[in-house]
Structure formats: C-alpha cells, structure tokens
C-alpha cells in the first residue's frame, strides 16, 4: 500500500496528469533515502493540487508574499520531529499514522517553469514534491549550508527516480 497521499484536485488540469504517481514516486524516494522505510505504511501527506490564483492567496496569507510560487509546505511539526538518523519521533496521528503535513502545488507555475527550464513536466513536479517533502521532514534552506544539504538530498532522491540532476542542466 505505501504512504497515504490525500489529494484535493482544486485545479482540474492536474487530473490530466498522473499526479498521484508523481507524488508517490517523490515521497517514497525521499523517505527511503532518509532511512524512513519503516514509516512508509504509517505516513500521510495531504496535497492541494491548485493553480496560480490559489497559491498566490496562500502565499500571501501564510508567508506575506503576494506573489505566485511553485510549491508551499506546512509541516505538522506539532505531531512529530525527524531525527537526522532517519527516525520519526512524536505523536502519532489518526489511525496510527504520522501526518507529515500539507503541500500546495500550482499547475500554472510548474508548467511555466518546466518550459522555461526545458525540463520534462513530470520530472519537474517530482523534484518540487521531493523539495516539499524535505520541508515537511524539517529541512530548510535559510542558510547556505542548509540549502546545499537540501540540494544534495534532492539530487540523490531524483537519481533514485531516474531523473537527471536539474541543477546541472
């Protein structure tokens, strides 16, 4: 069965993609890389698959930035914390699962970025979902060293998914 992924398809164009498979690929690769394999069956992530209008509103509401963005994440840090050795600790959520948090991703911005960067749309979406999953696990990129660590983890996750390093293109 694997990780539980709840998707709200607010933007119907996402339905024309294999979004659930992209999300599963991204999240499972991330959790496996971080040695969280034992938690795959017990982990839940919710996604709002939306458009630029919705993500702009969310970005303004939660980050004070009245602009569009590709992906946002809201870790459920009150539920757990992630140790660097691959152990999830904390309160379990409903049905004996760990609710890692919520993600919003914009179809419009993903499409625009993948075209501008000359990347396959599906590969770009998987990359953004890996990035968001790392945020849900407590990683950030506030400092240069943190950014470098996240970038290295993203590259390794994408490699396991058969996706080229987007930073090298």
**Contacting residues for 159 by C-beta, under 8 A, at least 6 apart:** 165
Render pLDDT for 3-58 as a digit per residue (tens, 0 to 9): 899 999 999 999 999 999 999 999 999 988 887 666 667 788 999 999 999 999 99
CB 134 within 8 A of CB 146: no
Residue 83, pLDDT > 70, answer: no
What is d(CA 41, CA 21) in angstroms, rounded to the nearest whole number? 16
10-30: b (≥16 Cβ within 10 Å) or e: bbeebeeeebeebbbbbbbbb
Q: Is the pTM of this model over 0.75?
A: yes
CB 147 within 8 A of CB 139: no
Superfamily of domain 4-160: Metalloproteases ("zincins"), catalytic domain (3.40.390.30)
In degrees to the nearest 10, what's the CA dihedral of 116, 117, 120, 123? -130
Q: Copy the structure tokens of residue 160.
A: 């396991």
Residue 92, pLDDT > 80, answer: no
Render pLDDT for 104-139 as a digit per residue (tens, 0 to 9): 999 999 999 999 999 999 999 999 999 999 999 888
- Return the sign of the alpha-carbon dihedral for residues 94, 99, 102, 107: negative
CB 11 within 8 A of CB 54: yes
């Amino acid at each position: 069965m694997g990780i539980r992924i709840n998707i709200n398809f607010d933007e119907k164009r996402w339905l024309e993609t294999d979004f659930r498979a992209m999300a599963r690929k991204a999240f499972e690769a991330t959790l496996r890389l971080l040695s969280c394999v034992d938690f795959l069956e017990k982990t839940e992530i919710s996604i709002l698959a939306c458009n630029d209008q919705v993500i702009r509103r969310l970005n303004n509401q939660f980050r004070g930035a009245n602009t569009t963005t590709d992906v946002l994440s809201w870790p459920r840090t009150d539920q757990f914390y992630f140790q660097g050795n691959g152990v999830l600790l904390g309160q379990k959520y409903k049905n004996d699962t760990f609710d890692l948090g919520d993600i919003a991703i914009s179809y419009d911005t993903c499409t625009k970025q993948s075209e501008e960067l000359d990347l396959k749309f599906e590969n770009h979406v998987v990359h953004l979902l890996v990035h968001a999953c790392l945020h849900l696990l407590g990683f950030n990129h506030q400092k240069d060293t943190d950014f470098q660590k996240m970038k290295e983890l993203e590259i390794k996750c994408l490699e396991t998914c058969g996706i080229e390093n987007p930073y090298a293109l």
